[in-house]
Structure 1
Amino acid sequence: MLSHSPLRYILPIGILIALFLDGSISLVFSHLLFNGYYFIPQLTFLWLFYAMFFQYRINLRIEWWSALAGLLFDSYYTGILGVYVFIFPLAIYVGKKLYKYFSVNIFSALLIYIIDIFLIYYLSFFANRLKHLTEMSDSFFLTHVLGPTLIINVILLIFLYIPCQLLFDHLN
């Protein structure tokens, strides 16, 4: 139960830290890397993903936390409430369903995370196209946004896997 776990403090603090780091890292990458390619880190979702992936025995109500994180993400970054409030819990739900078929290791985390990131960014792109907020073509989106975004998020997942696994094991 979450009420008896130190995660009741660590989880929301991690969400806030990841939320602010998302913007900072995006700003750094936008100036240092190649023009025309968008590397968008998703540390907020990565933190939620690790909480879902490593804390399967504790009832975290991670869908509610992901909706709250989506609300904060929407209000802080996009200015349009509702997109990530819906997409983050949906990606966590899909991740939990896929998680049942795999063991806890870095390869299964990588596979499920790639599917979740693809789902998040494709649904976000689709929502922005519906609201006429972007005129970006599908091919440009796949090659210049989704591809580089998957690469940077996979690198972050691999780099942070062991430290986060040790942290969640220690908190468990």
Structure 2
Amino acid sequence: MSRYKIALICLFLLIMQGMAMSMLPASLVYSDLLMTPHWVLIFLMIIAVFYDKDETYNAVWYGLAFGLLVDVIYTGVLGVYMITYTLVIYVIHGLNKLVHANFLAASLLAIVGVTLADTMLYVIYSFVQITSMTWGDYGLLRLLPTLAANMIFFILLYPLVKERVHDWSEQVSNV
């Protein structure tokens, strides 16, 4: 049952991240700063930290599926988000084995995950010549605002879902 709840939350976040820019003030939306909401990725990183065990990779599978949905719904290039989300969640799952699951560790993993995902997307889009930003412009005008916006979302989401996700993990392991 918890797997359906996780999928429904990911679907809800997928829809909401498409509307995220309309929730911001116009002065911020029409500035030079570019922010990309990675809300599904943030939630999947919480799943990787608090739901998955060392031998389970549920968050990776969700990353594959919902990364493909992001590609289909929001981008013109299929597979970019699918591969990026899957690889980032896999890396976060591996790094989680090195730290104790708490707010600080989850925050650091979220910073690493969003930075890695957004940088991978930039590199891929640069390679296929969809973007032509310089590295300096990318870092200042896209990466930092994206990281800040997604960390605000992480700080808001974490207390709402952490205990539920941990409880779902315990229910699955007890069955």
Q: TM-score by structure 1 length?
A: 0.90
Structure 2 match to 1:40: 36
Equivalence for 2:173: none
1: CA distance, partners of 2:8 / 2:90: 22
Distance 1:30 1:64, change over 3 A: farther
Tell me, yes or no, if structure 1 residue 27 matches structure 2 residue 22.
yes
Query: How many residues are paired up?
Result: 167
2: distance between equivalents of 1:82 and 1:144? 25
8 Å CA contact 1:74–1:80 kept in 2: the answer is: yes
1:62-101 deviation line (CA, Å, top 9, x unaligned): 2121111110001111121011111101001110111011
Whether the 8 Å CA contact 1:30–1:39 is kept in 2: the answer is no
Q: Distance in 2 between the 1:30 and 1:120 partners?
A: 25
SS of 2:24's partner is: helix
1:53 paired residue number: 49
Aligned to 2:13: 18
In the alignment, which of 158, 163, 167 is matched to residue 161 of structure 1?
158
Alignment root-mean-square deviation, CA = 1.6
**Partner Cα separation in structure 2 for residue 27 and residue 132 of structure 1:** 27
- Identify the residue that residue 3 of structure 1 maps to in structure 2: none
Residue identity opposite 1:44 in structure 2:
V
Matches for 1:106-125 after TM superposition, within 5 Å:
106-125=103-122
| 8 Å CA contact retained: 1:53, 1:109 | yes
Counterpart mapping for 1:54-73 below 5 A: 54-57=50-53, 59=56, 61-73=58-70
Structure 2: how far apart are the matches of 1:135 and 1:30? Answer: 27
| Distance change in 2, residues 1:120/1:30 (3 Å) | farther
Question: Percent identical across equivalent pairs?
Answer: 26
Whether 1:80 aligns to 2:59 is no
Question: CA separation in 2, counterparts of 1:77 and 1:53?
Answer: 27
**Structure 2: tracts of 5 or more residues without a match:** 171-175
TM-score (norm 2): 0.89
Contact 2:48 2:58 in 1 (8 A): no
3-state secondary structure, aligned to 1:165: helix
| Alpha carbons 2:52, 2:59 under 8 Å: kept | no
Decide which moves more: 135-144 or 31-40.
31-40
